[in-house]
Structures are given as C-alpha cells and as structure tokens.
A = this chain, B = another copy of it.
Amino acid sequence: MTTIRQVSKLAGVSVATVSRALQKPDMVSESTRKKVITAAEEVGYQPNMMAVKFRNKKSFAILVLVPDVSNPFFSKIISGIQTQAKKKGYNVILGNTANDLATEQELANMVFTNQADGIIQLAARNPLIDNIRHATVPIVNICDCVTDGSMPVIRLDNNGAAKAIISHFADLGHNRIAAIMGPDGSPITEQRLSGYLDGLKEQKIDIIESLMERGDYSMESGAIAAGKLLAHEVRPTAIFCFNDEMAIGAIHEIRNQGLRVPDDISVAGFDNLNFSRFMDPPLTTIRQPNAHFGQHAVEMLFEMISQQGQSVESLTLPYELIVRKSTTKAKP
C-alpha cells in the first residue's frame, strides 16, 4: 500500500499539497500539479478509500434492500440501480431481506454506522420508521410502494394498467374475468385489485367474488390458484394474473387439466419478464420500465443525499399494454 506520504516525499512537497493536487487540482500551481501526478504514477499511488471515506464521513455506497435478489423482476431493477450508481462513483451494497423485518432493520442500520449514504427499498415498508433518526435518512422506495408517505416513491400506475388489461379483455368479449391476486396487505396488490374492480365497473361486468383468488406472486401459487378457479361450475373465460410468474403457473395448470390457452381461457400477466415473449403462447402483459425504476431511484436518492432535509417528489412511470397470443376473443 503506497500512501500519500510517499508521494509527497518523492515530489518534494507536503502531504497537504499532494492531496490538493489530486483532489482539487485548481488549488495548486500547474508545476506542482505535474510534479505530484508524476510522483503518484511512479509509486502507483491509489488513495486508501477507507481513509477517505472515514475522513469525509461519506461511504459512497447505497444500500439496496430487496426481498429476493433472484426474482427476475427485482434483478432487472437492481441492474438499473447498479448502472446509475456506478456513473456517480457509488457502490451498491446488496441487502437480501427475504422479507424479514428484522433483517431489513439490521441492514438499514448501516446508514447509522456510516456504511451507506442512503437506501433504496424495494419492499413495501419503512424499515427505519421506529428509529428516532429516521427522518434524516435518505431513502426512496420502488415497486411495492410504501404508502405511508414516509419516503418518496417511484411507482407504476398500477390501477391504470390493471384497467387496461380489463378493457382489453372486454374488447375481446370476455365477461367472466377472474383475477389471481397477490397477497393481502401488499400495496401493489391493492392497487392492481382496485384497477381490476374499477375496470369491471367501467365495462359493466359483474364482479364475482368467487373469481378472485390469492397467490403470492410465485409460479407455484399461480398454478394452485388456477386450479381453484377451474373447479368452479362455470369457469372463467379469462384470467388476469397480477404478475407474469403467476400467469406462467396458471397456464401450466390450465394445460395440465387438458384445456387450451387462449382458446378455452385467455390469460394475461403483469411485468413483461424476458421470458414472457418466448413462452407458449407468448404472454399478454404489462411492460414495466424496470431499469428506469432503478435509474430514477438512484437519481432521487442522490437528490436527497445532497439537499438533505428538502423533500423530493414521488414519481409515476408509464406502463404499456403488450398484447400477445395468450389472450383471444371469447367464445360466443
């Protein structure tokens, strides 16, 4: 490890001057700057970032709290976060929480021990809310939105997107439109659910309680929920799944029971995973701008970090309905 001291000796200047020449070049004369830079290169100087961070009381790191890194929806967002953070010279510390509150709080505590300058939270709660100092912590939320107003949020118009799906089904002549929802209490689920209900009302389609099943956003749960829907005396003619993974599970189960998609039952998802356009049939779904979520989150977080105290506006990003072959006209 070469230090600033060695550079200073070789260049024949003080350590203060080395620091200035390297970090604030216009505070030193042209000639010393050159001397210093030459010396630094000669000894292969690289600042000890641990010392820099300690001294500056900045970690140059952001913590990302994510329920499950290996969830493809999240991992795309993380990819966007990473890209944007790197541009700003920040590191991304990965915090896999498995949706465990204690884990979230423990990880979030890193902002209080100077290990992170801010937090991007991908789950629907504020892990800091119990902490006295929480108001001072830069934190933003994406995806499953924190609805208590305790932090700025980057969200999709989930309600509008769900209505767009229902409207699409209605255009195709469907009037028994089932829903495979997410778990109770998830804001994202609530929003899509209200969009589903609003959509049905707008289209003057009866709301049938028994056509609404809960899943947990996994493929397995989609298959199970679809199984329940198919057991009804009168089956749905279309199913709106609150994410692509449940749609994949649902289609799997529908097929298992000898029915066809879309001929017997139309199925739509939500998220537009990479995979969704390659499956059979390709899935009608809602595209979310995942990478943009990540990028905007980083931008917002930096705004909060720099102009601390100032509140930052929440942001709603646009969705896009993508019609593929998993949905078709209702049989007359």
Contacts and interface: CB of A to CB of B under 8 A. Distances in A.
Interface in A230-255: 248-249, 251-252, 255
Given A50-B50, A51-B114, A252-B279, 12 more contacts: A49-B114, A50-B53, A61-B93, A64-B94, A69-B82, A71-B75, A91-B93, A92-B94, A93-B93, A248-B278, A248-B279, A252-B280
Interface of A: 1, 46-51, 53-54, 57, 59, 61, 64, 68-72, 75-76, 78-79, 82-83, 86, 91-96, 109-110, 112-115, 219, 223, 248-249, 251-252, 255, 274-275, 278-280
A78 B93 CA distance: 12
A252 B279 CA distance: 7
Contact of A219 (B50, B72, B114, B278): B278
A252 B59 CA distance: 47
B53 A82 contact: no
Q: Which of A46, A71, A72, A94 has the most CB of B within 10 A?
A: A94
B79 A68 contact: yes
Contacts of A275: 219, 248, 275
Contact of A76 (B1, B51, B70, B91): B70
Contacts of A83: 96
A-B residue pairs, 6 tightest by C-beta: A49-B113, A50-B114, A70-B75, A54-B54, A82-B96, A50-B54
A69 B75 contact: yes
A109 B50 contact: no
A71 B69 CA distance: 11
B96 A94 contact: no
A79 to B, nearest CB: 4
Contact of A79 (B49, B96, B109): B96
Contacts of A82: 69, 94-96
A113 B274 CA distance: 37
Contacts of A61: 93
Contacts of A249: 278
19 contacts: A1-B114, A46-B109, A46-B112, A50-B50, A50-B114, A50-B115, A54-B54, A69-B69, A69-B82, A70-B76, A70-B78, A70-B79, A75-B75, A82-B95, A86-B96, A91-B115, A94-B94, A223-B278, A248-B279
B248 A113 contact: no
A96 to B, nearest CB: 4
Nearest to A63: B91
Contacts of A46: 109, 112-113
A248 B165 CA distance: 26
Contacts of A57: 50
A251 B274 contact: no
B69 A79 contact: yes
Contacts of A115: 49-50, 91
